Amino acid sequence: AVYPRPRQAGVHVPGGRAMSGADIANEVAAALAEAGAETGAGVAYVCTLRRANASDPTTPWDAEEDGAGTPGDTELTCLKTKRHVRDQSGMLTGQVETVLLIDATVIEPLKSDTIAPGVAKADVTADTAFLDIARVEATEPGGVAVMYKVVLAD
């Protein structure tokens, strides 16, 4: 659909109602889920984000969210992609980064979190490999996050 250009803050849609940042974030989340379902096994691609206990970041294996000794896991809709790294002059470096495009409607990923791409929260076991996050890039037009790009550490 083609929408008219905004005249004031927000994106105007037919009917005159402006979409808020939260509305746009929900649209992006739905698009990520649809893209994952259409290009994958018919279901949205998900990942599980693990957040350690902030009271003692030196021992994340002892993290507690619920008081029972378990870390805080959150399931997120995402897409997994690769991108080629370029240096400051624009030349390809030969490095390839794995990037997860994550919806911004649930939780803001932090560099201190770990993530298990392709693993639903219900499928997490003691053997699940959680990967480190190299950096998080927010896509936030107008100051409202609508998507996060999570670059995985090597």
**pLDDT digit string, tens, across residues 92-116:** 999 999 999 999 988 899 999 999 9
CA-to-CA distance for 72 and 75, rounded, in angstroms? Answer: 10
Identify the pLDDT of residue 81.
Answer: 86
User: Of all helices (H) and strands (E), which one includes residue 114?
Assistant: strand 114-117
Identify the pLDDT of residue 39.
Answer: 76
**Model confidence, pTM:** 0.73
**Low-confidence winner among 4-13, 15-24, 29-38 (lowest mean pLDDT):** 4-13
CA distances from 131 to 25, 42, 143 (A): 25, 25, 28
